Amino acid sequence: MDDQQELESLDEAVGEAQEKAESPLKRYWPVIVVGVAMLLVGGILGYFGRGVYGPEAVAANATYSAVAVAIQTRAAANKEVMTMLIGETRHYKGDANAPVTIIEFSDFQ
């Protein structure tokens, strides 16, 4: 009977050791699932959201703002030049307030 008891105690010890040494996959599966989900979400947002939230979008918005300011400045400068040229012009044909003004610079030699 001593041998039988010894075998039973060894079986119990082996069973306890197996329970303690459960596989890391079984123990850490929630962490692995959350990690894979985060990678998938990050990949999808990185691929589809780059044009909306990425550095290209920020640069494009800054460029659009700069272009809008440049266009407004250029339009104001062109208006000032046209006002000065029309004011100094003595010879013209047609309505002075026409929507289109053609100014011809020529040399009579």
Helix (H), strand (E), coil (C) string for 44-76: HHHHHCHHHHCHHHHHHHHHHHHHHHHHHHHHH
CA distance 57 to 49: 10
Output the tens digit of pLDDT for each of the chain's 109 residues: 566 777 677 777 766 666 666 666 777 888 889 999 999 998 888 888 777 776 777 777 777 777 888 888 888 887 888 788 777 766 667 777 788 877 777 777 6
The first and second tokens of residue 92, run together, are 């013209």
CA distance 39 to 37: 5
Give the global pTM. 0.35
